[in-house]
Amino acid sequence: MIGTYSLAIIPLLVAFFVTYGAFHKVPVYETFTEGAKEGFEISIRIIPYLIAMMVAVAMFRASGAIDLLALAFEPILEFIGMPADLLPLAITRSLSGSGARGIFAEIATNYGGNAPITKTAAVMLGSSETTFYVLSVYFGAVGVKKFRHAVAAGIVADLAGILVALLVSKLFFY
Amino acid sequence: MMNWIWLFFILSSVIISLFNGKIDEVSNAILSSAQSAVTISLGLVGIMSLWLGLMQIAQKAGLIKLISRFLSPFLKLLFPGIPKNDPVQADIALNVSANALGLGNAATPFGIKAMEGLKRLNPNKQDVASDDMCTFLTINTAGVQLIPVSVIAILTSVGSGNPGEILIPTIITTFSALCIGIIFVKCLIKISPNPGRKK
């Protein structure tokens, strides 16, 4: 059901924009191509920012630093009642979208689709965005190099999300 | 801050991998991730151009203005630096709704349009983020999404009896994180507002 819904919404949206434009006497074809020209330039502009971010994140993941962090955080985990297997996911989801999905798939395969820990992981993953990717794409597109409060706020929101996900999952799944 | 975070990621990875013998993996990661950053960026060209073209139609047709007028009072609270009825409000609204509906592909071009609008209104030097940019990105990094399609897909594939069960907890979580993020960024802005163009 969700599949059909998301399949229908894009064609509908495209049709709506074009119809609305035509209705208001906009030359839709010309206007579309004129606007679309910008797409290439923006994508190119993002590249240096994305390279900087993705290389650093990939190095961090490959070095095993996340396992080390997990070890360091263990006492805190016990305190907040978080299963140790969720920690790599909690750390990775702000850094790498595909990485986080991979870790989630692993948890889901190991524990099965009906285990509370799988559902908790699902909530953790579904409730968040890849903070560092978003920052580098959006700021990169407009050439902003000093991110000011956006980094700290993004991280705090992510941490809050992890804690709330644990709490809510305790209430719903356990 | 980004300078420090970047340095931290790179230095700590090299030091750690020198000790645990994963230095060759780090070496591979450097090369392949630089490559995939380019692949991802170029992969955005098609979808980005498509939505930017449609946005241009919406703008010419007055749809953007209409949405802006409608949402102005509400967005004024979150983004005090945006003048009344400025078209950037519609870009923000479209970005947030596309994200909420799980249309990540459309959300990015809308969001970049919004960033361009915010850049036009930026009271700081051009490479320094404005208060409103920080608030906008806090909303985006919080990732408000009503139906996490890819998560549901994975759950279904491992034989979850009722993957829809995660929807309500996910929505509660994402909105809580969003509110905490916004409150936090607003506090930071209060402590240290737009530096302006001086220095």
**HEC-encoded secondary structure of chain B:** CHHHHHHHHHHHHHHHHHHHCCHHHHHHHHHHHHHHHHHHHHHHHHHHHHHHHHHHHHHHCCHHHHHHHHHHHHHHHHCCCCCCCCCHHHHHHHHHHHHHCCCHHHHHHHHHHHHHHHHHCCCCCCCECCHHHHHHHHHHHHCCCCCCHHHHHHHHHCCCCCHHHHHHHHHHHHHHHHHHHHHHHHHHHHHCCCCCCCC
Q: Would the CB atoms of B20 and A125 count as touching at under 8 Å?
A: no
Contact A156 B63 (CB under 8 A): no
C-alpha angle A143-A146-A148 in degrees, rounded to nearest 5: 130
Report residue B152's pLDDT band, with 50, 70 and 90 as the boundaries. confident
Chain B window 67-106: which residues touch A at a Cβ cutoff of 8 Å?
A: 99, 101-103, 106
Is the pLDDT confidence value at A2 over 60?
no
Residues B72 and B142 in one domain: yes
Query: Smallest CA–CA separation between B143 and chain A, in Å?
Result: 4
Angstrom CA distances, B162 to A99, B147, B158, stand at 25, 14, 11
Q: Among partner residues A26, A44, A113, which is closest to B57 by beta-carbon distance?
A: A26
Specify whether A148 is located in the same domain as A63: yes
Average pLDDT over residues B130-159: 89
Q: Is residue B57 part of a domain?
A: no
Q: Is residue B44 part of a domain?
A: yes
- Asked if B66 is an interface residue toward chain A (Cβ–Cβ < 8 A), one would say no
Report yes or no: B42 at the A interface, CB cutoff 8 Å: yes
CB A121 within 8 A of CB B173: no
Which secondary-structure segment (H or E) carries A170? helix A149-173
Query: Same structural domain for residues A108 and A129?
Result: yes
Same-domain status, B18 and B79: no
Number of domains in chain B: 2
Asked whether residue B199 is domain-assigned, the answer is no
Instruction: Give the closest residue to A127 by CA, choosing from B164, B105, B146, B94.
Output: B146
Q: Are A81 and A153 members of one domain?
A: yes
Closest CA to B79 of B189, B197, B153, B192: B189
* A129 in the same domain as A69: yes
| Cα distance between residue A14 and residue B113, in whole Å | 17
| Number of domains comprising chain A | 2
- Per-residue confidence (pLDDT) for residue B38, from 0 to 100: 92
Same domain? B141 vs B108: yes
Evaluate whether residue B183 is within a structural domain: yes
Domain presence at residue B92: yes
Determine the average pLDDT of the residues in A21-40. Answer: 93
Cα B22 to Cα B14, B17, B184, distances in angstroms: 9, 5, 38
Query: A104 near A119, Cβ under 8 Å?
Result: no
In this structure, the answer to whether residues B163 and B115 fall within a common structural domain is yes
Res. A155 pLDDT band, cuts 50 70 90: very high
pLDDT at A84 (0 to 100):
87
In angstroms, the CA A113 to CA A95 distance is 25
Chain A residues near residue B103 by CB distance under 8 angstroms: 6, 9-10, 13
Identify whether residues B41 and B72 lie together within a single domain.
no
Q: Is residue B53 part of a domain?
A: no
B197 within domain boundaries: no
Residue in chain B closest to A10 (alpha carbons) equals B103
Q: Tell me the HSE value of B155 on the side-chain side, using a 13 A CA sphere.
A: 25
Between chains, do A123 and B154 touch, taking CB under 8 Å as contact?
Answer: no
**Backbone region of residue A144 per phi and psi (left: phi > 0; alpha: psi in -120 to 50; beta: other values):** beta
Q: Are residues B90 and B179 in the same domain?
A: yes
Model confidence at A159: pLDDT above 90? yes
A137, A42 in Cβ contact below 8 A? no
Angle between helical axes of A28-36 and A38-62 (0-180°, round to 10): 40
If asked whether residues B154 and B104 sit together in one domain, one would say: yes
Q: DSSP letter for A82, please.
A: -
* A32 and A13 inside one domain: yes
Kindly state whether residues B144 and B83 are assigned to the same domain.
yes
* Mean pLDDT over the full length of chain A: 90
Of all residues in chain A, the one with the smallest CA distance to B194 is: A148
Q: Are residues B15 and B95 in the same domain?
A: no
CA distances to A124, A130, A134, B104, B164 from B140, in Å: 16, 9, 7, 11, 24
- Cβ–Cβ of A63/B62 closer than 8 Å? no
Same-domain pairing of A75 and A21: no
Q: In residues, how long is chain B?
A: 199
Looking at the fold, whether A152 and A77 belong to one and the same domain comes out as yes
Mean pLDDT of B96-111: 83
A47 contact residues in B (CB cutoff 8 A): 37-38, 41
Mean pLDDT of A2-15: 71
The residue range of the domain holding B174 is 62-191
Give yes or no: residues B15 and B102 share one domain.
Answer: no
pLDDT of residue A71: 85
Instruction: Give the tens place of pLDDT for each residue, A89-107.
Output: 999 999 998 889 999 999 9
Q: Angle of helix B104-120 relative to helix B88-100, nearest 10 degrees?
A: 160
Select the residue of B5, B12, B58 nearest A151 (Cβ to Cβ): B5
B55: in domain: no
- CA-nearest residue to B6 within chain A is A56
Specify whether A91 is located in the same domain as A8: no
Taking all residues of chain B, what is their mean pLDDT, rounded to a whole number? 90
The predicted pLDDT at position A11 comes to 86
Residues 125-184 of B with CB under 8 A from A: 126-129, 131, 133-134, 136-138, 140-143, 145, 147-152, 154-161, 163, 165-166, 168-174, 176-178, 180-181, 184
- The lowest-confidence range among A135-139, B127-131, B143-147 is B143-147
Q: How confident is the model at residue A5 (pLDDT cuts 50, 70, 90)?
A: low
At which residue do the structure tokens 């936090």 appear? B184
Task: Give residue A167's domain range.
Answer: 38-173
Of A46, A54, A152, the CB nearest to B33: A54
Which residues of chain A lie closer than 8 angstroms to B133, CB-CB?
139, 144, 150
Best residue of B126, B151, B156, B171 to probe chain A, by most A CBs closer than 10 Å: B151
Query: B177 and B93 share a domain?
Result: yes
Q: Which residue of B has its CA nearest to A170?
A: B169
Is B11 in CB contact (< 8 Å) with chain A? no
Decide: helix, strand or coil at residue A146.
Answer: strand
Q: Round to whole Å and give the CA distance between A6 and B44.
A: 19
Same domain, B183 and B89: yes
Statement to judge: residues A132 and A153 lie in one domain: yes
